[in-house]
Amino acid sequence: MPSHLTNHVLLQASLWILASSSPAPTARRVFVAPHEAVITPSPVERDATRTYKNRRDILSDLDSDVDSILSNLGSDIPSYVASGVPNFFQNFPVGDDVVSSLGLQSSELAALPTNALNIDPYANWTSSGWNVRFHGNIYKQPNTSTEDLNKFANKFLIGVDITSLPESQQDQARNLTAEIMVVQQGDVAVDTIHLEPAPSQGSSGEPGGGGATEATGGTQDITLPYNTTTEGDFDVFVPIASNGLTAGNETQEVQRLNTYIDGTTLGNGTAYLVPPEGITIVSDIDDILRVTKIYEPKEGLLNSFARPFVPWENMPDIYANWSASLPNAHFHYLTTTPEQVTRNYMQFIYATYPGGSFDTRPLNFSDVTATLSIRKFLLQKVFETFPQRKFVLIADTSNSDVMRDYPEMAKDFPNQVQCIFLRNTTSTDSGDQFPYDTSGFQGLNQNMYMFFKDPNDLTNIDLASGSCYNTSIAQNLTFGYQGLPLGLGDTSAVNGSANKTGAASPLVSRDAAHLRGVCALAVALGCAFWMGL
């Protein structure tokens, strides 16, 4: 067994013993009230008087809790675990940190071109017309030397020196590092965003359709109503003029608009104008659409930083079929990967899967609790934006926030969740040693969800019928923690089928409080691995 894995297993077993006596951090949820179809308030204005706690202070609070537990173990815990939060995900430098790390002069900075990350938006149809959610970041990317990029890349990789990688992988790792070592531009205006009809899907190089047609109009220039946040982010719904666009209540089809932000490079994106009714497929990316192995941190890092992105088995065929057979479906890719690496994810998706709108983790969701709350925050936003659409939610079992949030969405928005599909990563990958909690699924109709092993298990499922369970796939739910060390929590699986009447196994119920403590802590540590990727 590779040493990082040994440590990983050992850590979990130790935590299981130790954490039963110590309260563990739990996720804080962020809820938003539904908005009217008007310009949303500026986060900058609303938070103008707020004193931001330095991220490092928040982290060091958590570090000291974790350190004190780990120091009792006296064992060979790798430093990225002992620090509570591995560098690659929490300590991405931003703004001034980058300026000082690279020793940049303000004149050098001023001379750099301004770049925009224009994350592909969705738009809903309201009484004021199409309402587009523009979101992204304004930043400058310094010209960093190869030596410096190697130095920083080595901080993000675990136990690997970049120079030991094949040349093409070194190149990619440096490119990604350069995307992280950028200087975000806070409190700047985002003007002008230019909109124009986008050619239909077929000719745009995104295979598999995506169910979008060329818009019938919509050419215009707009300026966002607020400046960027201190982190350089923008995220605001703006009603746009029709200028010949087809009304949302007169079409079932998704219309596409090209959008680009003037005066910036790289600021091109595609807006998806989505009618009020239809099916929206909300898909996670890591370990469901591509092979990441986020549960094996060292592999996960190499797969994210250095190696080319690889699709997971024949998932592209499954999506291509959905896109072709449900031409009005809307695809929305929602991942908690950090915003800085969004572009790599978009490039991979658009080359491999149907085109669609995108969400990644904005920069202000950076401490651990905010990291654990971002998925729900983004899910609520898209559900509230399309209250009459049906949603198909897809991910894998290695994300604790998915395991909590997906079934919660089915309970919070009972008329909107059509299907939940979860790849059981443990069933194909013994390297996945992290526990997952299936208790949220208790009480849900088996017809609406399925845990599955291979993409083929999704073949022939008719999303539109709402019958989402392939009866030939054994479900092994205990409605408690599964995948714990030593097989704890798995014992009540009933001959390969869920016990629909219900309760968790006696072991899990008796020790539920302890296990929750363990898992919350494991989550704090584990999610740091998982969610950074």
Ligand X SMILES: *[C@@H]1O[C@H](CO)[C@@H](O)[C@H](O)[C@H]1NC(C)=O
Instruction: Provide the minimum distance between the beta carbon of 4 and ligand X in the complex, in angstroms, as a whole number.
Output: 21
Handedness of CA 373, 375, 377, 380 (dihedral sign): negative
Among 9, 310, 351, 474, binds ligand X (CB under 6 A): 474
Establish if 253 lies at the interface with ligand X (CB under 6 A): no
Query: Quick one: 20 or 456, whose CB is closer to ligand X?
Result: 456
Establish if 134 lies at the interface with ligand X (CB under 6 A): no
Contacts of 261 (CB under 8 A, 6+ apart): 116, 118, 190, 192, 193, 194, 267
Q: Of 293, 315, 289, whose CA–CA distance to 303 is shortest?
A: 293
Establish if 415 lies at the interface with ligand X (CB under 6 A): no
Establish if 221 lies at the interface with ligand X (CB under 6 A): no
Instruction: Provide the minimum distance between the beta carbon of 72 and ligand X in the complex, in angstroms, as a whole number.
Output: 31
Instruction: Provide the minimum distance between the beta carbon of 18 and ligand X in the complex, in angstroms, as a whole number.
Output: 25
CA distance 280 to 414: 15
Query: Quick one: 34 or 244, whose CB is closer to ligand X?
Result: 34
Query: Quick one: 81 or 123, whose CB is closer to ligand X?
Result: 123
Among 192, 220, 230, 499, binds ligand X (CB under 6 A): 499
Look at residue 250 and give its three-state secondary structure.
helix
Establish if 427 lies at the interface with ligand X (CB under 6 A): yes
- Pairs from 458-467 (Cβ < 8 Å, separation ≥ 24): 458/318, 458/421, 459/318, 461/419, 463/279, 463/281, 463/322, 463/326, 463/329, 463/392, 463/418, 463/419, 464/279, 464/326, 466/390, 466/418, 466/419
Establish if 497 lies at the interface with ligand X (CB under 6 A): no
Is residue 261 within 8 Å of residue 190, measured between CB atoms? yes
Instruction: Provide the minimum distance between the beta carbon of 139 and ligand X in the complex, in angstroms, as a whole number.
Output: 14
Q: Of 421, 479, 478, whose CA–CA distance to 452 is shortest?
A: 421
Among 413, 473, 509, 514, binds ligand X (CB under 6 A): 473
Stretch of residues binding ligand X (CB under 6 A), selected from 56-64, 68-76, 150-158, 487-495: 487-495
Establish if 39 lies at the interface with ligand X (CB under 6 A): no
Instruction: Provide the minimum distance between the beta carbon of 338 and ligand X in the complex, in angstroms, as a whole number.
Output: 14
Establish if 14 lies at the interface with ligand X (CB under 6 A): no
Query: Quick one: 79 or 250, whose CB is closer to ligand X?
Result: 250
H-assigned helices in 76-128: 79-82, 87-90, 96-101, 106-111
Burial 217-226 (b: 16+ CB within 10 A, else e): bbebebebeb
H-assigned helices in 248-364: 297-305, 315-325, 342-352
Establish if 470 lies at the interface with ligand X (CB under 6 A): yes
With 0-12 / 13-18 / 19 or more C-beta atoms within 10 angstroms meaning exposed / middle / buried, residue 513 is exposed
Establish if 442 lies at the interface with ligand X (CB under 6 A): no
Establish if 43 lies at the interface with ligand X (CB under 6 A): yes
Establish if 325 lies at the interface with ligand X (CB under 6 A): yes
Instruction: Provide the minimum distance between the beta carbon of 134 and ligand X in the complex, in angstroms, as a whole number.
Output: 11
Establish if 476 lies at the interface with ligand X (CB under 6 A): yes
Handedness of CA 193, 194, 197, 199 (dihedral sign): negative
Instruction: Provide the minimum distance between the beta carbon of 163 and ligand X in the complex, in angstroms, as a whole number.
Output: 15
Establish if 12 lies at the interface with ligand X (CB under 6 A): no
Stretch of residues binding ligand X (CB under 6 A), selected from 79-87, 286-294, 384-392, 512-520: 384-392
Site for ligand X in 170-199 (CB under 6 A): 171-172, 175, 187-189
Is residue 298 within 8 Å of residue 160, measured between CB atoms? yes
Establish if 152 lies at the interface with ligand X (CB under 6 A): no
CA distance 404 to 437: 8
Stretch of residues binding ligand X (CB under 6 A), selected from 7-15, 296-304, 403-411, 467-475: 467-475
H-assigned helices in 328-367: 342-352
CA distance 283 to 70: 36
The site map against ligand X for 503-522 (x = CB under 6 A) is x-------------------
Are β-strands 129-140 and 183-184 bridged in parallel, bridged antiparallel, or unpaired? Answer: antiparallel
Half-sphere exposure in the Cβ direction for 269 (13 Å, CA) = 28
Q: Of 236, 531, 244, 233, whose CA–CA distance to 404 is shortest?
A: 531
Query: Quick one: 80 or 441, whose CB is closer to ligand X?
Result: 441
Query: Quick one: 19 or 273, whose CB is closer to ligand X?
Result: 273
The site map against ligand X for 254-293 (x = CB under 6 A) is ----x-x-------x-------------------------
Calculate the alpha carbon distances from 134 to 53, 155, 269, 458, 499 in Å. Answer: 27, 33, 10, 33, 45
Instruction: Provide the minimum distance between the beta carbon of 120 and ligand X in the complex, in angstroms, as a whole number.
Output: 13
Establish if 370 lies at the interface with ligand X (CB under 6 A): yes
Cα torsion 53, 59, 62, 64 to 10°: value is -110
Query: Quick one: 75 or 146, whose CB is closer to ligand X?
Result: 146
CA distance 383 to 124: 11
CA distance 533 to 528: 9
Which residues here bind ligand X, judged by CB under 6 A?
30, 34-37, 43, 124, 126-127, 131, 143, 145, 168, 171-172, 175, 187-189, 227, 235, 237, 247, 249-250, 258, 260, 268, 321-322, 325-326, 362, 364-365, 370, 384-385, 387, 424, 426-427, 438, 451-453, 456-457, 459-463, 470, 472-477, 482, 490, 493-494, 496, 499, 501-503
